[in-house]
């Protein structure tokens, strides 16, 4: 099923898509072929960035699996509908360009790899953990099997001198200790040389949202290669798709270094959030307004980056990257764990549970209340619900027995919960909720007069603003109306 | 003994210093009296800042104990020698002014409190832990007894309407739950009112070093009071000594909040250091240059504050403040520990041991080598050796059996080790060391041609630059000479 259109889609019956590939390549005889493996939040957008490369005309083929979860994306791309809804207007523009130039094909046939000059790996590498089950998070599991299988598929088809560029966030050590041996083994099986292959690593810093395209095309990149020629080839390729004049590239000494840089920067953020979460609990215990304290501390230039607590940490990166790193340290190298980074994830994973408990403490009979959640995605102005903290918060409310209503302008369908999310804010406000939770800081909820007026007209209501979308003035207005009680950032 | 002059000093035989106090006060009849409790790194300098207040003429009395550790400071101040050696020329200037105006007296007599309009608490509140013994750091102990005794002494003498301003870094909750009850109890014993007293908290952000005075007079301040009139009185006082036009004051809601802000900002720094320490270990295991990685990550504005590893974390604040906070959370309130902050301190406390192990791995027969440590203070350009990581590093070398030589331009006498530290760099370089460790990043060691030339003339030598005082050019010069091997930042 295509979740965007509800259209039923039957999966292809044959493994081969050779005809379409041939037709496509015939149109682009003298162009270099870039194949992107994975058509998710990174791969799909990376594909259109390559199809709109700055200094080169590429023929781009996106490859994903012909299964229930992914085939609709392939079909959608080839039929004129980009599979990702995003605030960034450049997404549609870039996709339209690629349609006009006919230089972007999507397929499920791994034969595509055999035509590639460059293969970009943008598949997922997940960590299995218990956070959604609200357990004690004592364990997590890094399973490389799907990733290894994808590498094998490339090794079975690729040319011996291809540039294989891994963008996936991987445990440090993966390119050297996992990718390289697999590719070399497969090339050897096919009696090909293992001397000519180029393997690079350059992690993406993609931000789904209003700067989606720019987070690839106009942003700093760090890269490396398993050897000098690989690093050189990676650099030459990146220069064709990134504005390197404004955002200079940084080459690091080896693939371990770039792999580490990626998970290090995300662990840094995750840890800084976890830090403030712990202190927020302390502040609650001591009757201290943590927002006021953080504001005072931020006046010091050295402390400007100190974060503020929210409903939780979500998304695909911060929730798992510290674990990927700690796992690698223990399993690909011979170290012990990254204690602080692991604890950071554990603290963060519990945030939505704390937020729920805080709400419960403030609402008598929450189990009989109507609760409207404004926002289900993990981050403002994006439609990405992967590991959204709102899911855990939702599960808590559900377990409590509350009647839950949802709204999110960017999420028509909540994949993980298999729920349709209403798109009309007014209709949802008309459900006469007892509690409104601002669970994602979408722009739509900020300075929204309709929303504010509607709230002012309501019967006695409690608002739990976990993000701080309401201004001090708006909060003052709410407070003047005795029927509106505000929690969270409203204390500021 | 006065450690600065080696002069033997006999302690006073009487408990009373009334005569000197009377003489002093007679000269300043119409002035407000500010009494500073504690003449250490904060109190001594706070005293001369008050004696040089911006908009008021105060008579300032500094009080400390008449014991072996502190009496020399009292004597020294009254005899024309400021007891702290600092890079900041304003220190001497402010002290000279106070001598000229005769408005700064030091004493050991607690009767001084009875004349005070304002009492500023600048004594220490220490955490006992095992870090110097290189143990497992499973426990630490917060002992409030000395602090409580000091508060009792104030309560026994102070006027009922005094402004008591606590600047000491205390476990959050201390002003409300410890100071207030003690003062009220003592006032009640003396049949005085407990209604008129004003108690404020405003933590200092003093940085011993070239900006010593400015770190008080020209820096942001956060303050609070146990009630509105206390906060108001604190504000009025702070405005007389701080350039509040350029550095606006921030008032927080209660004393718990300001107490928390102080330990929070130091915990934030400590945790950020601990974070990079763990990753540095990982980088070593994976053959990655962590400096190169951090440099690449810092290009992101959100990640600019990411730190670099050094030899360790020292000084009076970062080594204990996270523990004060975690202790308070558990003991003054009913919470559980601040896991991440506690682990941060534990990781940091082990840094010098790792630095030693790293050196040992790189030097065959370290036990028979001459090792010259350049710098023993905990921070560049200061003479403060409290909790310096160099002490643990020194202890490791000593245990190993190495022959240790020292140099520090700011530390003539290393109190904690009871060692005289040679002040002449050339003489120390002439000891023909096998290893030179840059253990503190003093300016003297940077771009120092004499030092560089001397190193170039030496027999085969290893330099372990834990801080990064040598530039890439200098390192290149060293490397061209095969007898000089460089470790640490030199890898950059």
pLDDT in tens, A8-46: 888 999 989 999 999 999 999 999 999 999 999 999 999
Q: Do A343 and B339 touch (CB under 8 A)?
A: yes
Which residues on adjacent β-strands are paired with residue B224? B201
Q: In this model, does residue A279 exceed pLDDT 50?
A: yes
Torsion sign over Cα B221, B226, B227, B229: negative
The full DSSP string for A6-57 is: ----PPPSSS--HHHHHHHHHTTTTSEEEEEE--STTHHHHHHHHHT-SS--
**Count, residues in chain A:** 492
Distance from CA of A354 to the nearest CA of B (A): 14
Please name the residue ranges forming H helices in A117-248.
Answer: 145-157, 174, 180-189, 214-217, 228-241
Cα distances (Å, whole numbers) of residue A181 to A148, A200, A223, A226: 10, 14, 20, 12
Question: At a CB cut-off of 8 Å and minimum separation 6, what does A82 contact?
Answer: A44, A48, A76, A91, A92, A95
Residue B395 in contact with residue B349, Cβ under 8 Å?
no
Q: Do B333 and A296 touch (CB under 8 A)?
A: no
Does residue A330 belong to the interface with chain B, where contact is any CB pair within 8 Å?
A: no
What are the tokens at B420? 């005289």
Residue A489 in contact with residue A481, Cβ under 8 Å?
no
What are the tokens at A404? 């839950």
Average pLDDT of A150-173?
97
What are the tokens at B338? 């601040």
Distance from CA of A299 to the nearest CA of B (A): 8
What are the tokens at B117? 């309009």
Nearest CA in chain B to A491: B253
Which residues on adjacent β-strands are paired with residue B435? B371, B462
DSSP 3-state of A487: strand
DSSP 3-state of B332: coil
First to last CA, chain B: 45
So what's the ipTM on this one? 0.86
Which among B203, B263, B271, B278 is the top mutation candidate for probing chain A, defined by the most A β-carbons within 10 Å of its own β-carbon?
A: B278
Q: Looking at residue B137, what is its pLDDT?
A: 44
B127-129 and B140-142 strand pairing: antiparallel
The whole-angstrom separation of Cα B351 and Cα B92 is 35
Backbone angles phi, psi at A121, to 5 degrees: -95, 115
Which among A207, A268, A334 is the top mutation candidate for probing chain B, defined by the most B β-carbons within 10 Å of its own β-carbon?
A: A268
Please name the residue ranges forming H helices in B307-411.
Answer: 321-331, 339-349, 351-362, 389-400
Average pLDDT of A439-456?
92
Look up residue B101 and give its DSSP letter.
H
Max Cα–Cα distance, chain A, nearest Å: 79
Does residue A238 belong to the interface with chain B, where contact is any CB pair within 8 Å?
A: no
Q: Looking at residue B458, what is its pLDDT?
A: 86
* CA A227 to chain centroid: 30
Interface size, chain A vs chain B, as Cβ–Cβ contacts under 8 Å = 172
Please report which confidence band the pLDDT of residue A250 belongs to, taking 50, 70 and 90 as the band edges.
Answer: very high
Q: Looking at residue A112, what is its pLDDT?
A: 98
Residue B37 in contact with residue B122, Cβ under 8 Å?
yes
**Measured between beta carbons, which residues in chain A are less than 8 angstroms from residue B300?**
205, 220, 265
Q: Looking at residue A302, what is its pLDDT?
A: 78
Q: Do A302 and B260 touch (CB under 8 A)?
A: no
What angle, 0 to 180 degrees and rounded to 10, lies between the N-to-C axes of helices A472-480 and A449-457?
A: 20
**Measured between beta carbons, which residues in chain B are less than 8 angstroms from residue A289?**
252-253, 257
Q: What percent of chain A is modeled with pLDDT above 70?
A: 97
Which among B202, B214, B221, B264 is the top mutation candidate for probing chain A, defined by the most A β-carbons within 10 Å of its own β-carbon?
A: B264
The model's pLDDT over A78-125, given as tens digits with 9 standing for 90+, comes to 999 999 877 899 999 999 999 999 999 999 999 999 999 999 999 999
In the block, which residue shows the tokens 């304003």?
A: B90
pLDDT tens for each residue of chain B, 492 residues long = 777 777 788 899 898 999 999 999 999 999 999 999 999 999 999 999 999 999 999 999 999 999 998 999 999 999 999 998 778 999 999 999 999 999 999 999 999 999 999 999 999 998 887 644 444 445 788 989 999 999 999 999 999 999 999 999 999 999 999 999 999 999 999 999 999 999 999 998 888 888 999 999 999 999 999 999 999 999 999 999 999 999 999 999 999 999 999 999 999 999 999 999 899 889 888 988 888 888 888 888 778 878 777 888 888 888 899 999 999 999 999 888 898 888 888 888 888 998 899 899 889 999 999 999 999 999 888 888 988 999 999 999 999 999 999 999 999 999 899 999 999 999 999 999 999 999 999 999 999 999 998 988 888 889 998 888 888 788 888 888 877 777 765 443
Backbone angles phi, psi at B465, to 5 degrees: -95, 90
Does residue B338 belong to the interface with chain A, where contact is any CB pair within 8 Å?
A: yes
Q: Looking at residue B133, what is its pLDDT?
A: 46
Q: In this model, does residue A132 exceed pLDDT 80?
A: no
The whole-angstrom separation of Cα B202 and Cα B120 is 10
Residue B276 in contact with residue B309, Cβ under 8 Å?
yes
What are the tokens at B104? 């700064």
Nearest CA in chain A to B284: A335
**Measured between beta carbons, which residues in chain A are less than 8 angstroms from residue B285?**
329, 333-335
Q: Which of B98, B118, B120, B89 is nearest to B213 (CA)?
A: B89
Does residue A25 belong to the interface with chain B, where contact is any CB pair within 8 Å?
A: no
Average pLDDT of A423-438?
94
The whole-angstrom separation of Cα A436 and Cα A490 is 13
Q: Looking at residue B460, what is its pLDDT?
A: 84
A437 burial type by CB count under 10 A (0-12 exposed, 13-18 middle, 19+ buried): buried
**Measured between beta carbons, which residues in chain B are less than 8 angstroms from residue A303?**
265, 268-269, 305
| Cα dihedral A388→A390→A396→A401 (10° resolution) | -130
In the block, which residue shows the tokens 């030199």?
A: B490
Please report which confidence band the pLDDT of residue A432 belongs to, taking 50, 70 and 90 as the band edges.
Answer: very high
The whole-angstrom separation of Cα B124 and Cα B324 is 12
Which among A296, A303, A322 is the top mutation candidate for probing chain B, defined by the most B β-carbons within 10 Å of its own β-carbon?
A: A296
Q: Do B256 and A288 touch (CB under 8 A)?
A: yes
Residue A287 in contact with residue A358, Cβ under 8 Å?
no
**Measured between beta carbons, which residues in chain A are less than 8 angstroms from residue B281?**
335
Backbone angles phi, psi at B247, to 5 degrees: -125, 80
B118-121 and B163-166 strand pairing: parallel
Q: Do B260 and A335 touch (CB under 8 A)?
A: no
Q: Do B340 and A274 touch (CB under 8 A)?
A: yes
The whole-angstrom separation of Cα B349 and Cα B360 is 19
Residue A377 in contact with residue A413, Cβ under 8 Å?
no
Is this model's pTM higher than 0.80 or not? yes
What are the tokens at B411? 């530390």
Q: Do A341 and B300 touch (CB under 8 A)?
A: no
Q: In this model, does residue A248 exceed pLDDT 80?
A: yes
């Amino acid at each position: 099923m295509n979740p965007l259109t509800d259209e039923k889609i039957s999966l292809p019956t044959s493994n081969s898509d050779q005809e379409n590939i041939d037709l496509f390549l015939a149109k682009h005889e003298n162009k270099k072929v870039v194949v992107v493996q994975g058509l998710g939040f990174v791969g799909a957008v990376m594909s259109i960035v390559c199809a709109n490369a700055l200094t080169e005309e590429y023929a781009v083929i996106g490859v994903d699996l012909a299964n229930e979860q992914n085939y609709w994306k392939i079909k959608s791309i080839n039929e004129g509908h980009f599979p990702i809804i995003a605030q960034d207007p450049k997404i549609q523009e870039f996709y339209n360009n690629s349609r006009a130039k006919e230089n972007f094909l999507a397929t499920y046939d791994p034969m595509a790899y055999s035509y590639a000059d460059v293969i970009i790996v943008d598949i997922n590498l997940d960590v299995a953990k218990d956070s959604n089950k609200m357990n004690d998070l004592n364990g997590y599991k890094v399973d490389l099997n799907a990733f290894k299988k994808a590498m094998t598929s490339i090794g079975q088809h690729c040319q011996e001198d291809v540039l294989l560029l891994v963008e996936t966030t991987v445990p440090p050590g993966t390119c050297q200790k996992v990718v390289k041996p697999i590719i070399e083994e497969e090339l050897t099986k096919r009696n090909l040389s293992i001397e000519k292959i180029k393997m690079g690593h350059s992690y993406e810093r993609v931000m789904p949202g209003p700067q989606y395209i720019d987070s690839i095309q106009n942003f700093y990149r760090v890269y490396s290669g398993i050897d000098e020629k690989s690093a050189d080839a990676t650099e030459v390729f990146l220069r064709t798709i990134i504005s390197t004049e404004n955002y200079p590239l940084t080459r690091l000494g080896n693939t371990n270094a770039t792999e580490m840089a990626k998970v290090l920067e995300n662990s840094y953020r995750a840890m800084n959030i976890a830090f403030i979460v712990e202190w927020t609990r302390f502040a609650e215990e001591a009757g201290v307004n943590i927002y006021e304290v953080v504001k005072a501390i931020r006046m010091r230039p050295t402390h400007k980056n100190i974060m503020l607590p929210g409903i939780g940490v979500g998304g695909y990166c911060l929730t798992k990257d510290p674990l990927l790193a700690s796992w690698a340290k223990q399993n690909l190298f011979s170290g012990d764990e990254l204690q602080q980074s692991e604890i950071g994830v554990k603290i963060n994973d519990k945030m939505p549970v704390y937020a729920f408990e805080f709400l419960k403490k403030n609402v008598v009979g929450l189990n009989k209340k109507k609760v409207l959640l404004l926002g289900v995605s993990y981050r403002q102005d994006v439609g990405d619900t992967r590991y959204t903290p709102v899911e855990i918060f939702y599960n808590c409310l559900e377990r409590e027995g509350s009647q839950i209503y949802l709204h999110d302008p960017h999420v028509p369908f909540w994949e993980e919960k298999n729920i349709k999310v209403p798109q009309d804010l007014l209709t949802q406000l008309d459900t006469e909720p007892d509690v409104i939770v601002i669970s994602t800081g979408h722009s739509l909820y900020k300075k929204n007069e309709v929303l504010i007026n509607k709230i002012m007209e309501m019967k006695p209501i409690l608002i739990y603003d976990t993000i701080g979308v309401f201004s001090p003035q708006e909060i003052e207005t709410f407070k003047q109306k005795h029927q509106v009680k505000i929690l969270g950032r409203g204390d500021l």
